[in-house]
């Protein structure tokens, strides 16, 4: 006669519930009970964490290590952007340009310490960032 009302969750509780849903998806499990069995957790682990709005960082960490899914994707649902072939080509071009610049300046053979290597990496990162910005700006103009 009376339909059981679902308990209204706070925003924090809903966030924790969503994290468990994403963890279940990562392991290709259907529900929290299957997740608890799969990870050897107590039968009330998920429900208790949801009720307390307590994020299960240890479960998130384990899931990341076992599945390769990013921490951000499990915690926030943020999909990891895959680098496409064009971006890889731009990165390669940025590396080539920075290496040519470093070679021309005679820096490559002079890199003897970790600090020297770090400075070379900064130059390369700046060149790659510049190339990607040019590429993305061009793509925005082309799509407009």
pTM of the model as a whole: 0.54
* Same domain flag for 15 and 72: yes
Residue 5 lies in a domain: no
| pLDDT value for 68 | 87
Spatial contact of 92 and 83, defined as CB atoms under 8 Å apart: no
Count of structural domains within the chain: 2
* Same domain flag for 59 and 92: no
* Same domain flag for 30 and 72: yes
pLDDT, tens digit, 9 for 90 and up, residues 5-46: 457 999 999 999 999 999 999 999 999 999 999 999 999 999
Q: For residue 107, give every residue at least 6 positions away whose Cβ sits within 8 Å of its Cβ, in sequence order, or none.
A: 120, 123
Q: Choose one of 76, 95, 124: the last residue of a domain.
A: 76
Residue 3 lies in a domain: no
Would you place residue 55 in the very low, low, confident or very high pLDDT band (cuts 50, 70, 90)?
Answer: very high
Residue 2 lies in a domain: no
Range of the domain at 112: 85-143
Closest CA to 75 of 87, 67, 63, 66: 63
């Amino acid at each position: 006669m009376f339909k059981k009302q679902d308990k209204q969750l706070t925003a924090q509780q809903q966030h924790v519930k969503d994290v468990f849903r994403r963890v279940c998806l990562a392991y290709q499990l259907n529900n929290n009970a299957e997740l608890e069995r799969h990870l050897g957790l107590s039968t009330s682990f998920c429900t208790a964490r949801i009720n307390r709005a307590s994020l299960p960082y240890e479960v998130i960490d384990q899931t990341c290590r076992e599945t390769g899914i990013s921490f951000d994707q499990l915690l926030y649902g943020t999909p990891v952007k895959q680098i496409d072939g064009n971006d890889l080509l731009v990165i390669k071009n940025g590396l080539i340009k920075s290496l040519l610049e470093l070679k021309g300046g005679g820096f490559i053979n002079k890199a003897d310490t970790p600090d020297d290597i770090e400075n070379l990496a900064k130059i390369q990162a700046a060149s790659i960032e510049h190339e990607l910005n040019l590429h993305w700006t061009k793509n925005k103009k082309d799509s407009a």
